[in-house]
Amino acid sequence: MTDRRKFLKTSALASAALLVNACSNDKPKANTKVNKPIVLSTWRFGIEANQAAWAILSKNGKALDAVEAGVMVPEGDPKERSVGYGGRPDRDGRITLDACIMDELSNIGSVAGLEFIKHPISVARAVMEKTPHVMLVGDGALQFALSQGFKKENLMVEESEKEWKEWLKDSEYKPIANIENHDTIGMIALDSHGNLSGACTTSGMAFKMHGRVGDSPIIGAGLYVDNEVGAATATGHGEEVIRIAGCHLVVELMRQGKTPQQACEEAVARVVKLMDLRKKDLKDIQVGFIALNKNGETGSYCVQSGFNYAVYDASGNRLIDAGYHIKV
Ligand code: SD4
């Protein structure tokens, strides 16, 4: 090759590379290889939850069905002490559950402060599919659930009752980051048809005030899905997630061209900034986000170490430690 041809070829390659870089902030390209199906969920119990979701996704099932089936696993497990059956009570000793679900058409359903029902996510789905509304709370949510044939059950397990009685001695609400406040399951999935859905379910912060609602049942805070762009879900101190409309923020950042990782990092930076502004100690809280875009690319970030999440795709099911802001 002559020097001139070599030069032309190299500069053509260089401009192509520049072009790719310039475009890398754009929305996913139609010809990009999409990593699907894929499912992500928060915390270590995400591994088992992902398995249930994968059973559906791997047979070309819908992301909506997969996320519902996935989060039902910890909901139904009394050993998981912050979701569904076996969840920790509020300070009055009542187990009040929050959950929401969102599909690829932006159908949404949510319940907050729901008592006595083991699978609040399925009630949220029923709100989405069978009512003209998007959110039911407290007694109204329970009445609706019963009318739909859900069974009224005692969700309190011995350990939760013991812990609550212990807590009552000082009655001090000081959630320990990563311990008393964690274990909401948020799950987001992209199915083989290229559609996204998400679900989020929790018993909320342990020993919260009765009537307190966190981010988890609030569309845009604890969960958000936009089938053109991506999906995100959150865990940790719900008040801080609501303050920044967390998951909507993550999805909008992806719409603007951020990768899922960059979007999660920027949302955490927003939490940090508002904690600073309000002179609150960041070490007292945890907030974590996970995100997925239309290409099946993933991201995660949190305030402090200790948050992990599970990813299941063609490469298998694995637990990943999220990057974190406080580097001590
Ligand atoms: C809440 N975000 O009720 C939930 C709690 C949580 O992991 O995520 N724990 O604020």
Pocket mutation for ligand 1, best pick of 216, 218, 219 (most atoms within 8 Å of C-beta): 216
Determine if ligand 1 sits within 6 Å of the CB of residue 88.
no
- Residue 235 known to be catalytic: no
pLDDT given at position 21: 35
Question: What does the mean pLDDT of the chain come to?
Answer: 89
Residue 14: pLDDT band by 50, 70, 90 thresholds? Answer: very low
pLDDT given at position 11: 43
pLDDT in tens, 51-97: 999 999 999 999 999 999 999 999 988 888 778 877 889 999 999 99
Distance 27 CA to ligand 1 centre (A): 30
pLDDT in tens, 243-257: 999 999 999 999 999
Domain-by-domain residue ranges, the chain? 33-326
Distance 215 CA to ligand 1 centre (A): 7
pLDDT given at position 271: 98
Distance 52 CA to ligand 1 centre (A): 22
Residue with tokens 């000793």: 93
Indicate the pairing of strand 185-190 with strand 287-293: unpaired
Four-CA torsion 26, 242, 72, 59, nearest 10 degrees: -10
Catalytic residue among 184, 233, 235, 298: 184
pLDDT in tens, 261-274: 999 999 999 999 99
Determine if ligand 1 sits within 6 Å of the CB of residue 205.
yes
Residue 100: pLDDT band by 50, 70, 90 thresholds? Answer: very high
Q: Which fold has domain 33-326?
A: Glutamine Phosphoribosylpyrophosphate, subunit 1, domain 1 (3.60.20)
Distance 238 CA to ligand 1 centre (A): 5
pLDDT given at position 155: 87
Determine if ligand 1 sits within 6 Å of the CB of residue 186.
no
